[in-house]
Amino acid sequence: MSAEPFDLAGDERGVVCVHGFTGTPFEMRFLGERLHRDGYTVRGPALPGHCTSEADLDATTWADWADAVADEVVRMRRRCARVMIAGQSLGGLLALHTAARLGDQVDAMASLAAPLWLEGLGRRAARWTAPGGPLHGRVTRLPKLGGSDVRDRAARRANPCYRTIPTAALASLCDFMGVVDAELPEVRAPLLVVHARQDHTAPVASAARIVDRVASARVRSRILDASYHLVTIDVERDIVAAEVSAFFRARARA
């Protein structure tokens, strides 16, 4: 599968598939193709600063990523009667933010492994390298120790993500987590939340907080037992694709 953006024409049900931080549309291609097989029109864009270089990512902020997703939803609205968003990690945060921002232009969404905060080494590294931290300006890239947080070894090897984490962009991501957390009571679209119990990147407790704080009348939550962070390409990717497709299918009929 390719790291390039994808556009798969289908019926009047449109889905925007949004990848994660330092990732590419590769993370969403398996899910996108499954949705397309079920009849959906699917787009998988590349977020600003991604699919080029870490320096390009460091020149962007969460506002750039959010504007890009909002533009994708508006474009999909011109093609389809119903528009849904499925987002992995940062993509899940962007799905929630877009639903809060655009209201009834989003008919349903799936938040897949979205982090509202970081824990452990990731949290400390983000704090130390952020403005005001002891390493700010001295450390501009953080290594991804062990590569992507994926249990499936073949998928981890194939994943064409950045190999380091730009610290300025990481600081913006952390700011965005707080923005989305504050916006959750404004999210009213039907919501599917999927998270992995063994996620080493996004705390699984984020899923419960999202479910508890949104104003959505229809919420479904699924906690996976075997996957790690990138649930869209990991060992339970078939389950994730089936959950997303079924949830969107029910909402598109509503």
Report H helices in 184-236: 205-213
Task: State which residues form the domain around 238.
Answer: 6-253
Q: Is residue 145 situated within a structural domain?
A: yes
Residue 165 · residue 144 · CB < 8 Å? yes
Q: Output the DSSP codes for 8-77.
A: E--SSEEEEEE--TT--THHHHHHHHHHHHTT-EEEEPPPTT-SS-HHHHHT--HHHHHHHHHHHHHHHH
Q: Is residue 30 situated within a structural domain?
A: yes
Q: Is residue 1 situated within a structural domain?
A: no
Predicted pLDDT at 130: 81
Predicted pLDDT at 100: 97
Low-confidence stretches of the chain (pLDDT beneath 50) = none
Q: Is residue 87 situated within a structural domain?
A: yes
Q: Is residue 183 situated within a structural domain?
A: yes
Q: Is residue 105 situated within a structural domain?
A: yes
Indicate the pTM of the whole model: 0.96
- Torsional class of 73: left (φ above 0), alpha (ψ -120 to 50), beta (otherwise): alpha
Predicted pLDDT at 145: 79
Q: Is residue 116 situated within a structural domain?
A: yes
How many folded domains does the chain comprise? 1
Predicted pLDDT at 254: 52
Q: Is residue 108 situated within a structural domain?
A: yes
The CATH number given to whatever domain includes residue 237 is 3.40.50.1820
